[in-house]
Amino acid sequence: MDIEKKEEQPLRSVADDNHSRKHNRRRCIIICSSVTGVILTITLILLILSLTVFKAKKPVLTVNSVALQDFDVSVTPLPLRVSLNLSLALSISIKNPNKVSVKYRNSSTSLRYKGREVGDVPIPAGKIGADGTEDLNLTLTIFADRLVTDSEIYSDIIGGKLGFSTYTKIKANVRVVFFHIHVTSTTDCDVNIDIGSRSIPNQNCHYKNKLD
C-alpha cells in the first residue's frame, strides 16, 4: 500500500504543474488583453478629441487699424528734392482659436513703396494662451534715404496721393495631442495717403494662411 501511494504522488504533482501553467497563461492573456483594450480605448478617445474639441485651428491675424502718426512732406523744385517724414501706427491682433497655447516665432512688419521695402519693425516671438488674443501696436517709420532716388515719388506727391503697403508675416506652431502643425499667416494692406488732408481715407487688407 505504501508503495502505491508513493507512485501516485509524482503523477499528481505533474498534473498540478500543468494546471498551474495553464492558469497562469490564461491569467496573462486576460491581463494583456485588458491592458491592450485600455490603451486602444484611450488612444481612440484622444484621437476623437483631437479631431473634434481639440482640432488644430489656424491662428487668425487681423489688422485693426493703420493711422498716420507722423507725416511731413515737402518738395524743393531747384534743385529737385523731396523731404519726407512718415510714421504709421499699426494695430494688429493675433487670435488663437485653439484649446491649447500657440507659440509664434520672431517676425516682422515691413513698409513698402511700389513693392520695394522702405521701412520695417520687428515683432518679438511670443506665446498666446488657449482661446486668447495678442494685441500688437507697432510703429512703422519710413527710411527716407531709400526714397530720395525714386523718381516716381515726385509725381505721386505732386498728384496729392501717396500709396504704400504694409506686409506682416507671422509663423506659429500649434501642437494638439498627436499633431504638430506649422502655420504661416500673412497680411498685406494697401494704404493710400491723402497729402492735402494728411489722412488715410482708405485701406484694403488681404489675408492668407498657409500650412508649412
Query: pLDDT at residue 25 above 80?
Result: no
| pLDDT value at residue 138 | 94
Q: Is the pTM higher than 0.75?
A: no
Task: Give the single-character DSSP code of 144.
Answer: G
To which H or E segment does residue 205 belong? strand 199-211
On whether the CB atoms of residues 191 and 166 are closer than 8 A, the answer is yes
Banded model confidence at residue 14, pLDDT cuts 50, 70, 90: low
| pLDDT value at residue 147 | 65
On whether the CB atoms of residues 162 and 191 are closer than 8 A, the answer is no
Q: Average pLDDT in the 46-70 region?
A: 77
Query: pLDDT at residue 48 above 70?
Result: no
Q: Average pLDDT in the 45-66 region?
A: 74
- Tell me the CATH class for 60-211: mainly beta
On whether the CB atoms of residues 209 and 184 are closer than 8 A, the answer is yes
Parallel/antiparallel/unpaired status of strands 116-123 and 107-113: antiparallel
Rg (CA), the chain: 35
